[in-house]
Amino acid sequence: MVLPAFYTLAIEGLLPKDWILVGNGRGDVSHENFTQHVHDVLTEFGPKPSQGPWKEFSKRLRFAGGGFDSDNPGSLLDVLDEARSDVGADAQLVHYLAVPPVAFEGLTKGLGAHGLAAGSRVVYEKPFGTSTEGYRKLNRAVHAVLDESQVYRIDHFLGKEATQDLHVLRFANELFASVWDRHHIESVQIDVPETLGIDDRAEFYDATGAVLDMLVTHLFQVAAEVAMEPPRSLTADDLQSAREKVIRAFRPLDPSEVVLGQFTGFKSVKGVRRGSTTDTFVAARLWIDNPRWRGVPFYLRTGKRLAVSEQRVTLVLKTPTAPFADLAPGANTLSFSLSGAGEIDLSLLAKRPGVDLDPEQATVRLPLSELPDADPLPPYVRLIHDVLVGDRSLFTRPDGLSASWKAVQPLLDAPPAPARYAQGSWGPSAAAKLVAPGRWVVGQ
């Protein structure tokens, strides 16, 4: 996603006037070979080189080989010096650590050791740690080298158009702002099933699993976006503060309210350990202990090799008790698709045309891509642009991450055994029981 995001920024005219993109790795790769690699990536994943200013873009690509650590910077310092001669000695330096999390600490120390930390911005992919103690250790190491204002912990779900539209729909429309609480909402579902497997990143996934890869990162962050109190403003500090405050109200997960699963055939994937118990599916009931949400269950679900791919947030409104009798439960929902440009769906009960006063479920759909002058940006494009302009609104802070790890730690300490589930299914049957007497909106 990263290299296509840079090229999309070039197509959209959102890169600075002068810039150089330097790749870094262990191999002895020439600038020309790296340029060809970028060309191949864009050809496979898009946007294709022919769709943008490839000739000008390719002139700004460099590669620094020989690896990089505290003892040996490889050729990175020399290549950066050459780049500064092209774009200016005072150029803003951005380090994007597209590496496994175990490499974060060593690379961060290397930035400090070789004078590359001062004034720079550093982007860290998730997960930021693999346990509460691991997070704290990494956070201390990062802050020993960098000020918090330099740190950008990227979670691409926060860059999705529809995730941000949650703010607009709720805070700009009294119709929804007035019902956004436990008095009107029965439950919230955040559902990210995936048909994809893990073949292309088996070793990483086997060491991580669905809980660390998705639950404590993406799903927790989206839950915070849904549940936050109205921020004082839309500035970075106020948005981050509102998000992190509600995460601190997350009740630690009860392992008895969590279902883990592993799809059949997972252990046969090349790179997966023999006898692995890694979870490829997780469904959890999350509680938020504050006045707005006390007693409202947040149901979170994600997994690999499931029946469909979907990214959806659904608020299930309470069913009125009078004057209609026997109304269908869960018929009134407000739903957000987080895929692509996003979509808002409102499901409600309306009178079926005819003599009788019979309620019938109906759905109103608003694809956000159809709004006038809509120009949605993919999440990585949006977030990398935010890094370039120094906007930290959609990046996570240490207090929120600390609270997230505190909430998930009981599950890490005593995880239930993963149940086997068939590929192409909806996961373990126990996940359906988790939301009973209701049902999952996706796949119902």
Which residue bears the tokens 């292309």? 200
Tell me the one-letter amino acid at 103. Answer: A
3-state secondary structure 321-355: CCCCCCCCCCCCEEEEECCCCCEEEEEEEEECCCC
Question: 69 phi and psi, to 5 degrees?
Answer: -155, -175
Secondary structure (3-state) at 270? coil
Secondary structure (3-state) at 209? helix
Instruction: Name the nearest CA neighbour of 343 among 376, 298, 384, 381.
Output: 376
Annotated binding site for NADP(+): 26, 126
Helix then strand then coil, % of the chain, to nearest 5 = 40, 20, 45
Instruction: Name the nearest CA neighbour of 431 among 261, 251, 214, 195.
Output: 261
Which residue bears the tokens 């999390």? 101
Secondary structure (3-state) at 246? helix
Catalytic residue of the set 39, 95, 114, 218: 218
Whether 11 and 52 have beta carbons less than 8 Å apart is answered as yes
List C-alpha distances in Å: 441 to 180, 218, 363: 19, 19, 13
Question: 230 phi and psi, to 5 degrees?
Answer: -55, 125
How big is the chain by its Cα radius of gyration, in Å? 23
Secondary structure (3-state) at 65? coil
Tell me the one-letter amino acid at 365. Answer: R
Instruction: Name the nearest CA neighbour of 124 among 146, 156, 154, 149.
Output: 154
Whether 82 and 61 have beta carbons less than 8 Å apart is answered as no
Annotated binding site for substrate: 156, 160, 194, 213, 304
Which residue bears the tokens 């709720």? 170
Q: Which residue stretches of 178-273 are H helix?
A: 202-206, 209-210, 220-227, 236-247
| CB-side neighbour CA atoms (13 Å) of 256 | 0
135 token code pair: 């997070």
E-strand spans in 304-421?
312-317, 333-337, 343-351, 359-367, 419-421
Enumerate the β-bridge partners of residue 334. 315, 346
Annotated binding site: 26, 126, 156, 160, 194, 213, 304
Secondary structure (3-state) at 147? coil
39 has catalytic annotation: no
Return the biggest CA–CA distance within the chain: 82
Residues assigned a catalytic role: 218
